[in-house]
Structures are given as C-alpha cells and as structure tokens.
C-alpha cells in the first residue's frame, strides 16, 4: 500500500525564482508537468533530455525502475543509500532531530527516506533544480534568505568536524543546529557546500548563497579522509594543476584546514558571478534519462563520442570540439592515474544556450590507492578485448587509436593531442614525488602505473 507523492520544482535560473512544474510519484511511475507560465520563459527545464522544447505541456512519465525511482536529474539530488555516505547521514540526522517530525530510522535505505531527504535537502544544491514539498515552503525559502554572513571557522562553531567524520553523534547534532539542513551534493567524498569571499579562502565561511551576494562566491569543500585516502587533497590539487597546464578550464581552488582537517575549497562552476544557477547536468543523469543504465560507469567512452554525434537530443553545441575534449580528458586521466573518470565526473554546462563540457572537477589520481588502482573505470577502444576472428587482445596503444577514431580525430590530430598531453605531464612523477602528505607507498604505486602508461603511449 502506498500513497502518491507530490512535490514542486522551482528554479532560480534566469535570476529570480520561478516554479518550473509539479512532480508526482506513484507506486509505478514518476511524472512531471511543466507550468504553462514557465514554458513562456524559454528557460532550460528539468534536464537536457527532459527539456521543455521536447515535452511542452505534455506530462513526462517514467517508469520507476532500479536504480531510478525518480527522473535522473532529480534522483541525483539524493545522496546514495550507502550507510557510510556523509551527505546522507547528515540529512538523516537532521530528519531525526527535526521537531514534530515522525521519522522512523529503522529503515533508512528505502524510497520513503529518499523522499524525506529530497524535501529537506533537494534545494540550494548543485545545479539549478530546487525541489520543495509545496509552494509555500518554496516561497518562504526564497523570500527569506538568511543575511549573508562570513564566520571564522573557530572553536565558536562549537563542534569538531574531525570527530563528526568518525560519526560521533553528539557532534552531528551541534553541527546541524549550527548550519541547518545542508543542500545535497553527490559523490563519495565527504563535502559541504559553502560560500567564501570572492578573493579566495581566508578562513571565513558562509552558507551557500541564495541570491545575488556581491563579493561572495560559492564553493564545494571536500574533506580528506586521511585514513582511507591519505594525501588525497594534495593529489587532487596536483591533478587540477596538470589539467590547467594542459589547457583545460579549471576552477580556482584553495587548500585549507577545516577544524584541523585538510580540505580543498573549489569554486563552483554551476553559479555565475551574480550567484545565479547555471544549468549543469552530469553525463550519468543525461544518459540515464534516455537509456537504461545500472550505475555511473555502465557505459563506454566510445559510446559517449557516438552519442554526441547521433543522439536525437543535442548534448553539446559544438560536437567536434566536445569529442576532442573527451579524447584529451581520457588521455590526461590515463597519464595522471585517474582511473575514475566515470559518468558523474563529466558534466555538461549550459551558458547562454551554449552547451559544452563543464570545467574540470574531480580529476583525482585514484590509482594511488590500492582499492581504486585500475586503468579505467569504463572501457575505451575495446582495450583488452579480443575481437572476433582475432587471436590477440587489443593493446593499450591500439585501443587509444580506435577511441581517437571514434572521437572523429585523424592521425595527426590524435598524435598532436597525445604528444601535447605527454609533454604537459612530463614532470608528473617528479611532482608526485615531492608531495608531502601522500605516503611513499601510494606515490610509488601511482608513479609506477603512470610511467607504464606513458611508455605505452610513446610507442
Ligand atoms: N566545482 C564544482 N562546481 C559545481 N559542481 C561540482 C563541483 N565539483 C563537484 N561538483 C559536483 O559535485 C559532485 C561530487 O563532486 P566530486 O566528483 O568532486 O566528488 P567525489 O565525492 O569525489 O565524487 P566520486 O564519488 O566520483 O569520488 C560532482 O559529480 C559534481 O556534480
Ligand atoms: Mg566525483
């Protein structure tokens, strides 16, 4: 027995809040209808696939089917059901401490809980969609943004995040009392959405902005779980720097300490200089809106290149440029030991009607860690596969050549990109060696693995 559920979707796209439409969830389907008024505004909608231009005022319906109870762009506002997920636990704790709220914590991994989480942390997060229980909560939320205030991260915040990370419950409570419900942000690494001075990190933080806030920018703050991933902040910074040097558009970032814990503050690419949301959607959300996918690496890079060309829905504005970007990103990932370039680590941003791959995020050299030491989380160029009628498996070099072809590159273009990436990463090993917080064992693993790839690509 279940009851249909209902929520409203609003957005601050374009600078001021508008209701986009209504969401219904039955036991079998999720359904969404755009508001007539919203359609008149000619703004982006729920997502690249579920765009107003394709659906207009026809209700969009989607069967509820694992792993999606909701439209993928909305599902991505809910932190995953893993019991050790920081964002989810934060939201659960908030639900449990909220007064006058009957919330049973006996089963926290069901859709009922997802729905409760969505209602409290489904607004103000990454991207442009704000989900609310009803219009009056939405109107109230937009009409009463707290006066923006920068606070020193001092002991006055009254909680120790370090302890918080190890799940000392009492600290979570204080944290929640201090910052309230936190907007959701995906991924596995503990992180918070915050704001800081536009000039950069200076030890003061504020809550994420909800309106134009001159002199303030929004950031993602990623924490280092030193036991699980020692030195990951330094590694992520090095990878961001290598990507910048290789010509990619990389957001500003600042290494910092948050209550004694190493952290990395990264400027958000889904907000403009007026703190207005820009639409951005992960490739996972986009692709899963159109085809069945079981998880965020259930695909092939070659198929992304193909989708860029043949998808009936325009994924990017400049398809040639996007395929070159994709090829170069994979080469850089191979050369910097990031085997984790999955569909949630690639996003499409849309700015003034131009759709393109977003700025770089999460290029972390995860091969440094034994539990993530793999060349690539998704297949490319049929690497390691044995084509029919052949005796031999496809080598790394051959796979790169095949993938380049699928990205529309000719031989010269392919060689130019590879040589450029090789040159721009020529000091990678040296720089890994100089990192201070990464244990030798992890440095050695990363250097060995990436040097092997370099050799193969140079052949
Ligand atoms: N600078 C940014 N601006 C806007 N959105 C961002 C930014 N960085 C990350 N995000 C969003 O937050 C999500 C999680 O961030 P990120 O990938 O850095 O963390 P993660 O926890 O390391 O992920 P993973 O699970 O891949 O290891 C991303 O998928 C992206 O949607
Ligand atoms: Mg990620």
CATH code where residue 285 lies: 1.10.1070.20
Q: Which of 267, 292, 326 is where one domain is finished?
A: 267
Give me the chain's average pLDDT, please: 90
Q: Which of 213, 245, 267 is where one domain is finished?
A: 267
Look up residue 262 and give its two tokens.
């190493």
Please check whether residues 335 and 212 belong to one and the same domain.
no
Range of the structural domain that residue 188 is part of: 75-267
Please check whether residues 379 and 410 belong to one and the same domain.
yes
Domain contains 273? no
Q: If pLDDT is split at 50, 70 and 90, which confidence band does 270 have?
A: very high
Ligand nearest to the CA of 218: 1
Look up residue 214 and give its DSSP letter: T
Q: If pLDDT is split at 50, 70 and 90, which confidence band does 146 have?
A: confident
* CA-to-CA dists, residue 111 to 70, 101, 105, 116, angstroms: 10, 17, 13, 9
303-315 burial, b for 16+ CB within 10 Å, e for fewer? ebbebbeebeeeb
What is the structure's pLDDT at 159? Answer: 38
What is the structure's pLDDT at 265? Answer: 97
Q: What is the rounded CA–CA span in Å between residue 307 and residue 316? A: 10
Ligand 1 atom closest to the Cα of residue 282 is 31
- Summarised one tens digit per residue, pLDDT across range 326-359 is 999 999 999 999 999 999 999 999 988 899 999 9
Range 415-423 average pLDDT? 98
Please check whether residues 219 and 91 belong to one and the same domain.
yes
For ligand 1, atom 24, which residue shows the shortest CA distance? 187
Which SS3 state, helix, strand or coil, does residue 431 take?
helix
CA of 425 to the centre of ligand 1 (A): 23
CA of 64 to the centre of ligand 2 (A): 25
Range 350-376 average pLDDT? 96
What is the structure's pLDDT at 338? Answer: 98
CA of 76 to the centre of ligand 1 (A): 11
CA of 103 to the centre of ligand 2 (A): 30
What is the structure's pLDDT at 255? Answer: 97
Look up residue 188 and give its two tokens.
């596995």
Least confident segment among 4-13, 229-238, 257-266, 365-374? 257-266
Range 361-366 average pLDDT? 98
Is 0.85 surpassed by the pTM of this model?
yes
- Summarised one tens digit per residue, pLDDT across range 430-445 is 999 999 999 999 999 9
Domain contains 386? yes
* Residue 156 CB coordination number (10 Å): 8
Please check whether residues 31 and 79 belong to one and the same domain.
no
Q: Choose the residue to mutate in 126, 193, 350, 360 for probing ligand 1, maximizing ligand atoms within 8 Å of C-beta.
A: 126
Range 48-60 average pLDDT? 97
What is the structure's pLDDT at 459? Answer: 76
CA of 187 to the centre of ligand 2 (A): 5
Q: What is the rounded CA–CA span in Å between residue 121 and residue 119? A: 6
* Residue 187 CB coordination number (10 Å): 19
Domain contains 316? yes
Residue listed under structure tokens 């359904």: 31
What is the structure's pLDDT at 151? Answer: 77
Range 219-224 average pLDDT? 92
- Summarised one tens digit per residue, pLDDT across range 446-457 is 999 999 999 999
What is the structure's pLDDT at 183? Answer: 57
H-helix or E-strand containing 165? helix 161-165
Domain contains 320? yes
| 354-357, strands of its sheet edge to edge | 279-282, 347-351, 354-357
Range 236-260 average pLDDT? 94
CA of 345 to the centre of ligand 1 (A): 7
Least confident segment among 104-108, 126-130, 181-185, 403-407? 181-185
Look up residue 41 and give its two tokens.
């505004």
- Residue 419 or 84, more confident: 419
Ligand nearest to the CA of 186: 1
* CA-to-CA dists, residue 270 to 78, 201, 266, 361, 393, angstroms: 18, 19, 12, 12, 42
- Residue 390 or 101, more confident: 390
Please classify residue 204 by burial: count the beta carbons closer than 10 Å to its beta carbon, then call 0-12 exposed, 13-18 middle and 19+ buried.
Answer: middle
Domain contains 161? yes
Peptide bond into 188 cis (omega under 30): no
Ligand 1 atom closest to the Cα of residue 185 is 12
Q: If pLDDT is split at 50, 70 and 90, which confidence band does 107 have?
A: confident
Ligand 1 atom closest to the Cα of residue 126 is 5
Please check whether residues 60 and 207 belong to one and the same domain.
no
Please check whether residues 9 and 110 belong to one and the same domain.
no
Ligand 1 is surrounded, with C-beta below 6 A, by: 126, 185-189, 220, 251, 266, 268-270, 282, 340, 344-345, 347, 361-362
What is the structure's pLDDT at 167? Answer: 29
For ligand 1, atom 1, which residue shows the shortest CA distance? 268
CA of 38 to the centre of ligand 2 (A): 31
User: Is the pLDDT at 392 greater than 90, yes or no?
Assistant: yes
Please check whether residues 69 and 80 belong to one and the same domain.
no
Ligand nearest to the CA of 76: 1
User: Is the pLDDT at 209 greater than 50, yes or no?
Assistant: yes
Please check whether residues 90 and 236 belong to one and the same domain.
yes
Range 107-126 average pLDDT? 88
Please check whether residues 89 and 187 belong to one and the same domain.
yes
How many separate domains does the chain show? 3
* CA-to-CA dists, residue 283 to 192, 201, 288, 293, angstroms: 22, 30, 8, 11
Range 175-188 average pLDDT? 54
- 399-402 — which CB contacts under 8 Å span 24+ positions? 400/331, 400/457, 402/302
Please check whether residues 225 and 82 belong to one and the same domain.
yes
Please check whether residues 240 and 137 belong to one and the same domain.
yes
Please check whether residues 185 and 219 belong to one and the same domain.
yes
Domain contains 303? yes
- Residue 367 or 109, more confident: 367
Q: Which of 267, 295, 316 is where one domain is finished?
A: 267
Domain contains 433? yes
Domain contains 311? yes
For ligand 1, atom 17, which residue shows the shortest CA distance? 362
**Which residues neighbour 212 within 8 Å (Cβ) at sequence distance 6 or greater?**
15, 274, 275, 276
């Amino acid at each position: 027995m279940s009851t249909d559920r209902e929520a409203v979707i609003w957005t601050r796209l374009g600078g001021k809040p508008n209701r986009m439409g209504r969401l219904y969830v039955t036991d079998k389907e999720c359904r969404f209808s755009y508001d007539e008024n919203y359609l008149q505004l000619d703004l982006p909608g729920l997502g690249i696939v579920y765009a107003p231009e394709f659906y207009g005022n026809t209700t969009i319906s989607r069967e509820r089917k694992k792993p999606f109870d909701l439209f993928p762009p909305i599902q991505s506002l809910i932190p995953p059901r893993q019991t050790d997920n920081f964002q989810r636990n934060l939201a659960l704790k908030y639900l449990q401490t909220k007064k006058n709220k009957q919330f049973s914590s006996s089963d926290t991994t069901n859709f009922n809980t997802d729905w409760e989480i969505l209602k409290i942390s489904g607004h103000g997060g990454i991207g442009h969609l704000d989900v609310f229980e009803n219009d009056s909560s939405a109107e109230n939320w937009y009409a009463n943004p707290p006066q923006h205030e920068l606070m020193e991260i001092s002991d006055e915040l009254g909680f120790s995040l370090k302890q918080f990370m190890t799940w000392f419950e009492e600290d979570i409570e204080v944290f929640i009392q201090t910052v309230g419900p936190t907007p959701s942000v995906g991924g596995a690494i503990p992180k918070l959405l915050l704001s800081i001075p536009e000039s950069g990190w200076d030890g003061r933080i504020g809550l994420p902005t909800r309106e134009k806030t001159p002199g303030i920018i929004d950031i993602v703050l990623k924490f280092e779980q030193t036991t699980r991933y020692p030195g990951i902040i330094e590694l992520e910074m090095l990878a961001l720097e290598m990507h910048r040097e290789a010509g990619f558009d990389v957001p500003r970032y600042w290494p910092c300490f948050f209550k004694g814990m190493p952290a990395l503050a990264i400027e958000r690419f889904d907000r403009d200089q007026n703190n207005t949301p820009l639409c951005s959607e992960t490739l996972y959300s986009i692709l899963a809106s159109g085809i069945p996918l079981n998880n965020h690496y259930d695909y092939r890079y070659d198929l992304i290149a193909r989708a860029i060309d043949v998808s009936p829905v325009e994924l990017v504005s400049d398809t040639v440029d996007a395929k070159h970007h994709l090829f170069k990103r994979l080469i850089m990932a191979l050369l910097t030991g990031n085997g984790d370039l999955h569909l949630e680590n690639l996003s499409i941003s849309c700015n003034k009607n131009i759709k393109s791959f977003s700025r770089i995020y999460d290029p972390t050299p995860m091969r440094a860690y034994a539990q993530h030491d793999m060349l690539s989380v998704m297949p490319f160029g049929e690497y390691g596969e044995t084509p029919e009628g052949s005796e031999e498996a496809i080598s790394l070099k051959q796979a790169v050549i095949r993938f380049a072809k699928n990205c529309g590159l000719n031989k010269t273009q392919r060689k130019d990109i590879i040589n450029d990436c090789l040159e721009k990463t020529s000091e990678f090993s040296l720089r890994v060696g100089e990192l201070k917080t990464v244990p030798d064992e992890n440095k050695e693993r990363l250097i060995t693995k990436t040097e092997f790839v370099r050799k193969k690509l140079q052949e």
